[in-house]
Amino acid sequence: MTSELSEKILEYLSKCDEIDSLDLAKIFQEDHQKVIGAIKSLQAIGNLINANQVNTKRWELTEEGQHVLKFGSHEAAVYNAISENGSPQAEIMKTVTYAKVGLSKALAAGWVEIDKNDKSVVKRKVASIIDTPQVHLMNLSEVPENIKKEYKKRKFLQEVVIKSVLLSKGESFSTKVEKQEADVTADLLVNDAWKEKKFKPYNFDALGSALDVGHLHPLLKVRAEFRKIFLEMGFTEMPTNNYVESSFWNFDALFQPQQHPARDAHDTFFVAEPKLSTCFPENYLKKVKEVHSVGGYGSQGYRYDWKFEEAQKNLLRTHTTAVSARMLYKLMQDGEFKPVKYFSIDRVFRNETLDATHLAEFHQIEGVVADFDLSLGDLIGTLYEFFSKLGITQLEFKPAYNPYTEPSMEIFCFHNGLGKWIEIGNSGIFRPEMLLPMGLPENVNVIAWGLSLERPTMIKYGLNNIRDLVGPKVDLQMVHDNPLCRLDKNDPRSVQEKRRKSDELSKSIVNQRQETCVQDIVIFCDPKYPLYTLETLLSIFKRDFSISVSVHSHSSVQKLPDHLVEFCSEFRTSRKNVDFEITFIWKIVGVDPQMQISAIREFSGETNIARFLNRLVEERKPNLLRYESNGALYAYQIDAFLDRINESLHCLDSKNKLKNLRALIKGQYLMGDEISIADIVLQSICRNLGK
Ligand code: PHE
């Protein structure tokens, strides 16, 4: 059903050829937005009206402009404030708004002067003035454009763009609008009445209304993700519902000596009330005391006077490994050893110096696997499996030290989004000094690892201050606005993994198509990162191959920048039976262009596309642009350069990194005297960055 306003609009339009929505708003004394709403609903009813969006620029007074309109220009205000015999500058400065600008303008206009005898006094220089700016602002339509620009500079005026809609009669214009049905009802079905009715089309562009539901904090969402990974891998969650722990379970059970600096109040929060724990498994406690003070199980221990009072001290647990220790002890109390996989994600506390990435409390994610004869290889394999479920496939390990694990390893991963290696966790194999007093069989090993929940969450959500994630400064809107579901933009596959896949793919395609011509190549490219590599490559290939490129714009690209209008223009012929037929589509795809071959295979990234095209021509003309035809070592070196270029392109400081890469060029090109795709890609990317 059309509203009254829609009908009024049609009525009005029936009497004229064209009318602007802004004028309609004035005529009907309605809010412009409402008029637009009514026009939209008319547009939905077929060809009733034609509506074209128009942008009109209009000059508007700024707040300062309004002031000038009311009280005169700043220079006039200064002039008027000066009394007949002159006034002290200081007084003018105090009483006149915008006095500073006003005085310099009035001096420049020759309206006022500084008293030659007393420099602190200003005097009028002329008997009367005409305040042109004020006169101009009173009637803007008379003011020439260049003077308006002058007032814009003085911040009296601003140019605003007003969007409106120009209406004219459509093909099936009528002032009568038939009511459109929104639903097929039982009534309409009876007697086939629906056949005569018009139905409102679906509006697929309408946005759904925001869900009126609670929103999970990012930490909870990432926690759920980790939990799911552990559960998928068959781990059981440990009960971590005790923030307060005794030093015994937090440190002693883990073979952490009582003099260890982490056990100092500088690092650990001790609890004042209740200060001490009293209930410990006696037998086990004795064994722990023994292994610390005199050793056992093949270990010489730390050889110090182990004190029960120290073990009794209550604290806020500094790691969830305290819970793992309790669980492993409990496992043996339940009877015979059975292999287990445990995990926990919960809060721990440390007396840290607070900064942008550290708080005194955070969450730890911990995984523990106990089984017969586990080795370091099992730990590494498990870590690969665990992190690959997060999309992290490149790991490196660095020897580390924990009192309770031997060997211990810090875990690093390559983060594609950040373009660098970052530390993500700590791991190791629990020491016999920890496990044997609990009664675990000698041939059982326990591998374990831990990481913080906050760090991956901050990276995922692009936060660089932990206070934006935890604590009183958290912006609840941030929690509310975060998507319900995240499809990470950075393909989590590592750079090398991506390369390997695309190499395999391009080799197989090259093999399939050696003799035939290559058609059906579609490239999607973001105008922000033009694929200049393609232009350069084609200009090399054209010596021996016939090429045709058709260029299009996807609807995500509103307006193509002028400098791209001529992109690949040299190859835009519509010849058939060419060697290369490329469809090139400008589309907002981000930094990595996408390439599809025969609509079935796809790979992404400027370097990968360059490799593929190079291989394609090399199969038939090995000397055109040398790559693999020059031997594996040569190709390997080019690949290494391409990888570095690709990595730099994805890092924050890409400009400098690429500059450093360029500095590597010793001869004329990266590979010495002969140009290669690495040079072409490097130049292309540098050309983009220079823009
Ligand atoms: N407890 C260690 C930490 O707090 C993490 C860890 C757990 C290390 C298990 C090794 C084994 O950093």
Note whether residue 262 is domain-resident.
no
Same domain, 238 and 121: no
Measured from the Cα of 318, ligand 1's closest atom is 4
> From CA 92, how far away is CA 94, in angstroms rounded?
5
- Between the CA of 308 and the centroid of ligand 1 the distance, in Å, is 24
> From CA 551, how far away is CA 531, in angstroms rounded?
12
CATH number for the domain that contains residue 54: 3.30.1370.240
Q: Which of 110, 144, 178 is the last residue of a domain?
A: 144
Measured from the Cα of 427, ligand 1's closest atom is 10
Pocket test for ligand 1, best of 260, 268, 321 (most atoms within 8 A of CB): 321
Note whether residue 290 is domain-resident.
no
Q: What contacts 378, CB < 8 A, 6 or more positions away?
A: 369, 371, 445, 447
Per-10-residue mean pLDDT of the chain, 691 residues long, equals 80 93 93 92 85 89 93 94 91 91 92 90 92 92 90 92 91 82 90 87 80 88 95 97 97 96 92 96 97 96 96 97 97 93 97 88 97 96 92 89 96 79 94 97 97 89 86 88 66 55 61 52 92 93 88 86 90 78 90 80 86 87 88 88 86 75 78 90 84 60
Positive or negative: CA dihedral 103, 109, 111, 113: positive
Task: Give the burial class of 173: count Cβ atoms within 10 A of its Cβ; 0-12 exposed, 13-18 middle, 19 or more buried.
Answer: middle
What is the residue with the minimal CA distance to atom 8 of ligand 1? Answer: 427
3-state secondary structure 53-107: EEEEEEEEECHHHHHHHHHCCHHHHHHHHCCCCCEEHHHHHHHCCCHHHHHHHHH
Same domain, 53 and 84: no
What is the residue with the minimal CA distance to atom 4 of ligand 1? Answer: 319
User: Could you say which DSSP state residue 276 is in?
Assistant: B
Q: Contact 233/341 with Cβ under 8 angstroms?
A: yes
- Between the CA of 496 and the centroid of ligand 1 the distance, in Å, is 30
Question: Helix, strand or coil for residue 247?
Answer: helix
Measured from the Cα of 324, ligand 1's closest atom is 9
Note whether residue 206 is domain-resident.
no
Q: Which of 498, 499, 518 minimizes the C-alpha distance to 509?
A: 518
Same domain, 25 and 81: no
- Between the CA of 429 and the centroid of ligand 1 the distance, in Å, is 10
Q: What contacts 607, CB < 8 A, 6 or more positions away?
A: 499, 642, 643, 645, 646, 681
Task: Label the pairing between strands 594-597 and 518-525.
Answer: antiparallel
> From CA 441, how far away is CA 360, in angstroms rounded?
37
Note whether residue 315 is domain-resident.
no
Q: Which of 451, 468, 485 is the last residue of a domain?
A: 468
Measured from the Cα of 367, ligand 1's closest atom is 9
Beta bridge partners of 397: 411
Same domain, 354 and 440: yes
> From CA 677, how far away is CA 388, in angstroms rounded?
32
| Count of alpha carbons within 13 angstroms of residue 349, beta-carbon side | 15
Same domain, 47 and 109: no
- Between the CA of 310 and the centroid of ligand 1 the distance, in Å, is 22
Q: What contacts 153, CB < 8 A, 6 or more positions away?
A: none
CATH number for the domain that contains residue 645: 1.20.1050.130
Same domain, 324 and 432: yes
Pocket test for ligand 1, best of 238, 319, 346, 349 (most atoms within 8 A of CB): 319
Q: Contact 43/49 with Cβ under 8 angstroms?
A: yes
Element (DSSP H or E) covering residue 376 = helix 376-388
- Number of compact structural domains in the chain: 4
**Cα dist from 261 to 37, 253, 256, 321, 602, whole Å:** 70, 16, 10, 18, 55
What is the residue with the minimal CA distance to atom 6 of ligand 1? Answer: 450
Question: Helix, strand or coil for residue 362?
Answer: strand
Domain encompassing residue 539: 493-689
For residue 525, the Cα-to-chain-centroid distance in whole angstroms is: 19
Note whether residue 293 is domain-resident.
no
- Between the CA of 315 and the centroid of ligand 1 the distance, in Å, is 18
Burial letters 472-484, b for 16+ CB under 10 A, else e:
eeeeeeebeeeee
Same domain, 338 and 432: yes
Pocket test for ligand 1, best of 378, 426, 435 (most atoms within 8 A of CB): 426
Residues with CB under 6 A from ligand 1: 319, 321, 366, 402, 405, 426-428, 448-450
Same domain, 366 and 405: yes
Look at the pTM and tell me if it is higher than 0.85: no
Note whether residue 309 is domain-resident.
no
Q: Which of 111, 144, 177 is the last residue of a domain?
A: 144
Measured from the Cα of 430, ligand 1's closest atom is 11
Same domain, 15 and 81: no
Q: Roughly what angle, to the nearest 10 degrees, separates helices 654-663 and 677-690?
A: 140
Question: Helix, strand or coil for residue 128?
Answer: coil
Q: Contact 123/115 with Cβ under 8 angstroms?
A: yes
> From CA 435, how far away is CA 294, in angstroms rounded?
16
Same domain, 390 and 375: yes
What is the residue with the minimal CA distance to atom 5 of ligand 1? Answer: 450
Note whether residue 32 is domain-resident.
yes
Pocket test for ligand 1, best of 366, 386, 397, 453 (most atoms within 8 A of CB): 366
- Between the CA of 354 and the centroid of ligand 1 the distance, in Å, is 21
Measured from the Cα of 368, ligand 1's closest atom is 9
- Between the CA of 462 and the centroid of ligand 1 the distance, in Å, is 25
What is the residue with the minimal CA distance to atom 9 of ligand 1? Answer: 449
- Between the CA of 322 and the centroid of ligand 1 the distance, in Å, is 10
Q: Contact 349/316 with Cβ under 8 angstroms?
A: yes
Q: What contacts 484, CB < 8 A, 6 or more positions away?
A: none
**Cα dist from 260 to 256, 304, 403, whole Å:** 7, 12, 9
> From CA 528, how far away is CA 685, in angstroms rounded?
11
- Between the CA of 448 and the centroid of ligand 1 the distance, in Å, is 7
- Between the CA of 93 and the centroid of ligand 1 the distance, in Å, is 67
Note whether residue 100 is domain-resident.
yes
User: Could you say which DSSP state residue 484 is in?
Assistant: S
Q: Which of 618, 609, 620 minimizes the C-alpha distance to 680?
A: 609
Which one-letter amino acid corresponds to residue 302? Answer: Y
Q: Which of 317, 316, 252 minimizes the C-alpha distance to 284?
A: 252
Same domain, 28 and 113: no
Query: What count of other Cβ atoms lies within 10 Å of the Cβ of residue 569?
Result: 10
What is the residue with the minimal CA distance to atom 2 of ligand 1? Answer: 450
First to last CA, the chain: 52
Same domain, 56 and 138: no
- Between the CA of 326 and the centroid of ligand 1 the distance, in Å, is 15
- Between the CA of 405 and the centroid of ligand 1 the distance, in Å, is 9
- Between the CA of 219 and the centroid of ligand 1 the distance, in Å, is 20
Q: Is the bond preceding 407 in cis, omega lying within 30 degrees of 0?
A: yes
Pocket test for ligand 1, best of 345, 402, 408, 429 (most atoms within 8 A of CB): 402
- Between the CA of 304 and the centroid of ligand 1 the distance, in Å, is 24
